[in-house]
Amino acid sequence: MSDEAAPWLIVGLGNPGPEYAGNRHNIGFMVADLLAERIGGKFKAHKARAQVVEGRIGPPGPANRRVVLAKPMTYMNLSGGPVTALRDFYKVPLERIVAVHDELDIDYPTLRLKLGGGDNGHNGLKSMTKSMGPDYHRVRCGIGRPPGRMQVADFVLKDFSSTERKELDWFVDRAADSVECLISEGLERAQSAYNS
């Protein structure tokens, strides 16, 4: 399969299970769920220990792209295994992999898109980079820093606050838009439209 024919692999990072569903750490899952809804697909179990939906994103014509949406089911810090298995199964070049994740160093609700880079202590990214190297796209969804002396781990595994929830649907919607823009129009266009 030529790289042109290869699908994009969009990975929403999060933890499986209802007790984590509303956590800040699960914004990647929320964005993946919304994208699946937009393409009219339902997540199904894949042997790579992930749930996947296949479909197309973008306007009709040459900007219409084949995509595989994925939610690893291994817990955040082991995300690299399922993502690597999906990359191999679908023959996806590294630069067509997009990780959608929460980011502590960016204020809520701010988006930043980039290609490559470090993991900033994010266990999901750390695991992906260890498995595949760092040169994949990231859609970084800012969640801000924990207040006061709260530990980072406690903060990311808490649900969004009631104040944050007022903007959450808008934020998830905007993040999903940015993924679609990245795939159909490229990184620079998506950065200029969505990086704030």
pLDDT at 2: 62
Which of the two residues, 78 and 2, has the higher pLDDT score?
78
E-only strand ranges, the chain: 8-12, 44-46, 50-57, 65-72, 97-103, 111-115, 137-142
Mean pLDDT of 26-50: 97
Q: Do 117 and 138 contact (CB within 8 A), yes or no?
A: yes
| Residue 142 confidence (pLDDT) | 98
Mean pLDDT of 167-196: 97
State the burial class of residue 157 (Cβ atoms within 10 Å of its Cβ: 0-12, 13-18, 19+).
Answer: middle
Could you give the CA distance from residue 68 to residue 85 in angstroms, rounded to a whole number?
A: 13
* Mean pLDDT for the chain overall: 96
Q: Would you say residue 186 has pLDDT above 90?
A: yes
Give the pLDDT confidence of 122-167 residue by residue, as tens digits: 999 999 999 999 999 999 999 999 999 999 999 999 999 999 999 9
- What pTM was estimated for this model as a whole? 0.97
Q: Which of 25, 46, 101, 122 is catalytic?
A: 25
Position 5 pLDDT exceeds 90: no
* Per-residue pLDDT at 3: 72
Distance CA 43, CA 52 (A): 5
25 carries an active-site annotation: yes
Task: Quote the CA–CA distance of 154 and 36 in Å, as a whole number.
Answer: 29
| Residue 51 β-bridge partners | 45, 71
